[in-house]
């Protein structure tokens, strides 16, 4: 048995004993005997030291944003509409949120999705290339990013041969 003075029991069975002296076989009161102190300030100081010595870039990727749209070459695609999947990717060279953990110091993913939806609903385009370009322009203007990739995917393209998806990827850079 291990007690406060760490003596062995004659039976050879080691048990943890609570401060009341009764064997419990559990770690009762052990955490009270160990003082971990307040390490929050120390961790914050270490984070600040690391962040000053390392260049940090942030890549934001949004995949599979599903939107019902009215884009396409055929009149039926523009009238009836269809579901498109949109992927967006961009980098932030300066992103204070890596240090501050504040939403105001980064790009809000929900706001990005909303801007993509607005660009896709703004007007009807015949080609996915033009739609992707319009989404890139909107994101660059609204969020001030220097480069954006947009992939537009038709999960069920209206073509006579069996295919899984059709995707068009557009990259724009200032």
d(CA 109, CA 160): 37
Q: Which domain holds residue 110?
A: 58-173
- Mean pLDDT, range 79-98, rounded to an integer: 91
Alpha helices in 24-162 (DSSP H): 30-33, 40-53, 75-80, 97-100, 109-122, 128-143
Q: What is the pLDDT of residues 127-163, one digit of tens each?
A: 999 999 999 999 999 998 989 999 999 998 888 999 9
- Any domain includes 102: yes
The reply to whether 116 falls in a domain is yes
Residue 144 lies in a domain: yes
Our CA dihedral for 58, 63, 66, 70, rounded to 10 degrees, sits at 80
pLDDT for res 47: 52
- Whether residue 30 is contained in a domain is answered as no
For residue 76, the model assigns a pLDDT of: 83
| Domain contains 18 | no
Q: Is residue 45 part of a domain?
A: no
Question: Rounded CA gap, 124 and 72, in Å?
Answer: 8
Cβ contact 106:115 at 8 Å: no
The domain that holds 87 is classified in CATH as 3.30.1130.10
The answer to whether the pTM exceeds 0.85 is no
């Amino acid at each position: 048995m291990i007690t406060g003075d760490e003596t062995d029991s004659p039976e050879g069975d080691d048990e943890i004993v609570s401060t009341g002296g009764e064997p419990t076989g559990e770690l009762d009161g052990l955490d009270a005997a160990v003082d971990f102190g307040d390490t929050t300030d120390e961790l914050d100081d270490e984070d600040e030291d690391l962040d000053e010595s390392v260049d940090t870039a942030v890549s934001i990727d949004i995949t599979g944003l599903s939107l019902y749209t009215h884009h396409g070459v055929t009149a039926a695609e523009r009238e009836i509409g269809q579901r498109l999947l949109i992927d967006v990717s961009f980098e932030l060279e300066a992103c204070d949120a890596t240090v501050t953990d504040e939403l105001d110091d980064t790009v809000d993913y929900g706001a990005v999705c909303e801007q993509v939806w607005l660009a896709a609903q703004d007007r009807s385009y015949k080609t996915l290339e033009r739609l992707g370009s319009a989404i890139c322009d909107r994101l660059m203007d609204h969020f001030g990013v220097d480069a954006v990739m947009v992939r537009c995917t038709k999960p069920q393209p209206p073509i006579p041969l069996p295919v899984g998806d059709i995707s068009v990827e557009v990259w724009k850079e200032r």
